[in-house]
Amino acid sequence: MSTQSTLSKKAAHAEQPKGRKRMTVPDFSARKGGEPLVCLTSYTAHVARICDEVSDLLLVGDSLGMVIHGMPNTLGVTLEHMIMHGQAVVRGADKALVVVDMPFGSFEESTEVAFRNASRVIKETGCAAVKLEGGEEMAPTIRYLARRGIPVMAHIGLMPQAMNTAGGFKAIRDEAHWDAVIADAKAVEEAGAFSVVVEGVAEPLAAKITEAISIPTIGIGASAACDGQILVFEDMIGLFPRVPTFVKRYGNMEEMMRASVGVYAEEVKARNFPGPEHTYKPK
Ligand code: KIV
């Protein structure tokens, strides 16, 4: 059997039952320790429509700065980028919980600034929750938002927005740093986060965090020891050139796209496209 047909069979199997109701924040939190939570990033309505069929949560991640807008990192992403892509994803998804990332500079200054910007995201996109990077230092902000009606997904471990202080994107493998990450997990849980993304940590640390807190841990580069997984859609379908170790490629869309545009260019040059079937006839 070809890889393609194996994938199609698996995909048909993975499709969620028709008529399932929209995932809410409490539904999501209640899945702690249960069936693993399926999460994917989406930045556009059409991709959201596809991912919505199999996902519990769609994240409009600030990774869109790198993946869609060609930025070198996520630091240049603005609230306006997040709102525009958030609106597109909310239009495309009607089953998964849609969460929008708070970009760098939009929440760190004060709890009030965080509330002002997070409430704009919720109002203008219609998403159900926001995600923000940070552990203990962001606990007061998470508490402030959660108590005022804004559900927060936290993000600890490797935090891409802290790349300048960390000296790059560095996975946390050294045991000397584990206690600090566990303290972050406990702090965001205690502050009222409904879930936490755990990025780039060694497997035993992911297991310790998942064991230590009562909210779902969603791993990216954090092993199968988490309560669920998230991947950047473009990474997993093979549409982004840089592939980190933790990404499994489930397709090679870049190859397919190159082949398609290549054949198109040849056919245009040879006047083989458009053919009669793509041409209007006079009435
Ligand atoms: O921005 C993003 O896509 C993310 C995920 C990688 C978790 O934060």
Q: What is the dihedral of CA 260, 265, 268, 271, to 10 degrees?
A: -90
Atom of ligand 1 nearest to the CA of 62: 1
Q: What stretches of the chain show up as alpha helix (H) in DSSP?
A: 3-14, 25-29, 45-52, 64-67, 79-92, 111-125, 139-146, 163-166, 178-191, 203-212, 233-236, 253-269
pLDDT tier, 1 (very low <50, low <70, confident <90, very high otherwise): very low
Per-residue burial over 90-113, b = 16 or more CB atoms within 10 Å of its CB, e = otherwise: bebbebbbbbbbbbbebbbeebee
Dihedral over Cα of 139, 140, 146, 150: its sign: negative
Query: Among this protein's residues, is 112 annotated catalytic?
Result: no
Tokens read off for 240:
């982004």
Alpha-carbon distances, residue 47 vs 35, 92, 178, 234 (angstroms)? 24, 8, 36, 10
Question: Is the minimum distance from the CB of 195 to ligand 1 under 6 angstroms?
Answer: no
Residue 158 has pLDDT above 70, yes or no: yes
Q: Which domains does the chain have, with CATH numbers?
A: 21-253 (3.20.20.60)
Kindly report the protein residue whose alpha carbon is nearest to atom 8 of ligand 1.
61
Span 140-144, average pLDDT: 98
Q: In the predicted model, what is the mean pLDDT of residues 218-246?
A: 94
How many Cβ atoms sit within 10 Å of the Cβ of residue 256? 13
pLDDT tens for each residue of 106-123: 999 999 999 999 999 999
Q: Is 42 in the pocket of ligand 1 (CB under 6 A)?
A: no
- pTM beyond 0.95, yes or no: no
Whether residue 17 is predicted with pLDDT greater than 80 in this model: the reply is no
Q: Considering 15, 137, 190, 199, which one is annotated as catalytic? A: 199
